[in-house]
Amino acid sequence: MPGRRLPTWMSSESENDPKMSEAEMKPMEFCGKIVLVANENEASLICEELLQECRAQAPFTHSDWSPFVVGFDAEWDVNNYSRNPKSAVVDLVQVCCSEQTVYLFHLARMNSFPVELKRLIENPQIVKTGVNVRGDIYRLQRQFNLSNKGSDVIDLGELANKVLKCNQTWSLDRLCVHVLNRQLPKTESIRCSQWSEFNLSSDQIKYAALDAYVSWKLYCDLANYSKT
Ligand code: ZN
């Protein structure tokens, strides 16, 4: 909207402000419950509940900012990818739709893709948000024959550019610093770790949950701001 002033922390020129430096910022953390799901029946039960919750909210989904939004992310073995791009498969899908819970669906341990997770991804009423989330969805579509038209996918970089009225290429950690005023502890070694491993380490679990939570949180902040 013309003439509206952004709070300084959201302004794209805020680099010039004497604001908190990145080093002074607290690290972002997720304090809710992390549910690691390693079998397809349990995954389907959880997704069925999420779908029901979405249906219960359906009368309110006609605004510009659909209220049923999930932070969405996926992980795979990056090193495997560089050896043979075609063989890289998604090992983990992360979903967050509240302050309370993040679900980690460990596909690497499942024999087939959970039916209800497929429905959740394909359901246009459930908005999937994240940085480069289209790439994650595309990869899943190719691997598991899902159909997603893309209308229910919101890239956080694009949303940030719209709300902040700028034109930048955003990473999740830059958005976290700029919008939430928090550092995102990015550990390259964890990002590039083996997500196909039968037992994920506690660092992998924490990292994966945080990515989905931060995506959800960023969406809420950006969408809320645009409503005020
Ligand atoms: Zn991630």
Q: Would you tell me how many other CB atoms lie within 10 Å of the CB of residue 37?
A: 23
Q: 130 C-alpha vs ligand 1 centroid, how far in Å?
A: 9
Q: What is the pTM of this model?
A: 0.86
Q: 94 C-alpha vs ligand 1 centroid, how far in Å?
A: 8
**Is 50 exceeded by the pLDDT of residue 16?**
no
What is the distance between the alpha carbons of residues 23 and 159, in angstroms, rounded to a whole number? 26
Q: 137 C-alpha vs ligand 1 centroid, how far in Å?
A: 13
Helix, strand, coil shares of the chain as percentages rounded to 5?
50, 15, 35
DSSP 58-91: GGGTTSSS-S-EEEEEEEE-HHHHHH-GGG--EE
Q: 103 C-alpha vs ligand 1 centroid, how far in Å?
A: 13
* Pick from 70, 46, 75, 45: nearest CA to 57: 70
Which helix (H) or strand (E) is 96 found in, with range? strand 90-96
Q: 136 C-alpha vs ligand 1 centroid, how far in Å?
A: 10
- Comparison of pLDDT for 2 and 201, the residue scoring more: 201
Q: 176 C-alpha vs ligand 1 centroid, how far in Å?
A: 14
- Comparison of pLDDT for 11 and 174, the residue scoring more: 174
Tens of pLDDT, residue by residue over 57-111, are 765 555 555 568 999 999 998 877 555 555 568 999 999 989 999 999 999 999 9
Provide the terminal-to-terminal Cα distance of the chain, rounded to the nearest Å.
10
Q: 73 C-alpha vs ligand 1 centroid, how far in Å?
A: 5
* Pick from 6, 9, 25: nearest CA to 173: 25
Q: In the structure, what pLDDT confidence band is assigned to residue 7 with cuts at 50, 70 and 90?
A: low
* Pick from 213, 214, 205, 202: nearest CA to 92: 205
Q: So what's the pLDDT on residue 131?
A: 96
Q: 3 C-alpha vs ligand 1 centroid, how far in Å?
A: 36
Q: In the chain, what are the domains? A: 30-227 (3.30.420.10)
